[in-house]
Structure 1
Amino acid sequence: MAVPVFPLPIPSYTRILGIDPGLRITGFGVIDKQGQQLHYVASGCIKTPAGELPERLKVILSALGEVIAQHLPELAAVEKVFVNVNPQSTLLLGQARGAAICAAVQAGLPVAEYTALQIKQAVVGNGHADKEQVQAMVVRLLNLSGTPSPDAADALACAICHAHGGMGLGALATRSFRMKGGRLV
């Protein structure tokens, strides 16, 4: 009598690309979410050379395309632009962000967008946390042996934010809550 063989279930996971756009330095971070567990895959920075804006945007678009082709994420999460004191800086950052979004869309990835406040709230529990706090929590949540650069940590935090349901609440219903001062009330 033959014993029936049942295939073992293949553990499913979602691969998320987080992007912290910047004209000089664009951070990226790739994580896998398996159930409630997060696993680090890769992170780094894309540095653009000084020069004309179109060439710098091309570097961001091309390099993120390579990251996507190498790591095959299923979706992307991008930090939203905040309004800066200097309108020219805000416009330039917006163009770098546009190049990053285009790289994801070109690869067929759905794109989620989060403010810095939402990302910090989801990762640190405080929407006004500083860069060092974000870095420390990224190291802790992903069990990293070293500390990533601030730009790579921000990108990983963006991916973590998305993995946690956008606000770090997972499946918790939030219909009766609202945001006030970066906190749910």
Structure 2
Amino acid sequence: MSVEGLRVMGIDPGLTRCGLSIVQAGRGRSVLPVVVGVAKTPVGAPLPQRLSQLSHDVSQWMDEYHPDVVAIERVFERGNVSTVMNTAHAVGVLMLAAAERGIEVYQYTPSEVKKSISGNGRADKKQMIAMVTRILALAEPPHPADAADAFALAICHCWRAPMIARQEAIAHRVAASAAKSK
């Protein structure tokens, strides 16, 4: 199944810095960069104000670039509970922005993204940035790391989308068959 032309928004969620990217799937495994950036919120501001700013920024991106799907990093325990909670709040706002626009959201763990991009689920930041730069044929590495991570998430989804579509088609056929036999 071809995903050529699929526009994917990659999001590396964070409350202070949130990596944002847009890529377009090409033929085969080629992926074309469209734009990359980072949404920032002021550290000292109240949480509701920061979430509102993040929602505004990501909504602008979605409205301007019209992604078909969003690929976002799945929140995982990092040891610091307040960091995890702030990231979880940010993810909720980001997913809501997509849902309000009818955009499907796919979540990937950091190790899934690393394995997809580099072949190594434990790749370090330097390896990931080098691979993203090479895959997208960028003149220079994306900066900061949050931007590179957002690109990596979008690339990961482009490469996994054909398998996901096949799995969803099979699940749909199985459900239809089960409903028919009742």
TM-score tier by shorter-chain length is 0.7 to 0.9
Q: Does 1:113 align with 2:107?
A: yes
Whole-angstrom distance in 1 between the partners of 2:80 and 2:139: 37
> In 2, distance between residues paired with 1:23 and 1:40?
24
The 5-angstrom pairing of residues 22-41 of structure 1 reads 22-36=14-28, 37-41=30-34
**Of 47, 61, 72, the match for 2:40:** 47
Aligned equivalents of 2:80, 2:42: Cα separation in 1: 22
Choose between structure 1 and 2: higher helix proportion: 2
Distance in 2 (CA, whole Å) between partners of 1:86 and 1:38 is 35
Could you tell me how far 1:154 is from its partner in structure 2? Answer: 0.2
Q: What percentage of aligned pairs have identical amino acids? A: 35
Q: What is the TM-score with the length of structure 2 in the denominator?
A: 0.83
1:126 aligns with 2:106: no
Which residue number in structure 2 is paired with residue 165 of structure 1?
160
Given the two structures, how large is their TM-score scaled by the length of structure 1?
0.82
| 1:1-185 → structure 2 map (5 Å cutoff) | 13-36=5-28, 37-50=30-43, 51-149=45-143, 150-165=145-160
Gaps of at least 5 residues in structure 2 are 168-182
Once the two structures are superposed, residues 26-51 of structure 1 have per-residue CA deviations (whole angstroms, 9 ceiling, x without a partner) of 00111000221210100000010121
Aligned residues: 159
Q: What RMSD, in angstroms, separates the aligned Cα atoms of the two structures? A: 1.6
Structure 2: distance between partners of 1:102 and 1:35: 31
Q: Distance in 1 between matches of 2:126 and 2:101?
A: 32
The one-letter amino acid of 1:85's match is G
How far apart, in 2, do the equivalents of 1:127 and 1:162 lie?
15
Greater C-alpha Rg: 1
Give the superposition deviation at 1:58.
0.7
> Which aligned segments of 4 or more residues in structure 1 are displaced greater than 4 angstroms?
none
* Letter of the structure 2 residue corresponding to residue 34 of structure 1: G
Q: Which runs of 5+ in 1 are unaligned?
A: 1-11, 176-185
1:65–1:107 Cα contact (<8 Å) kept: no
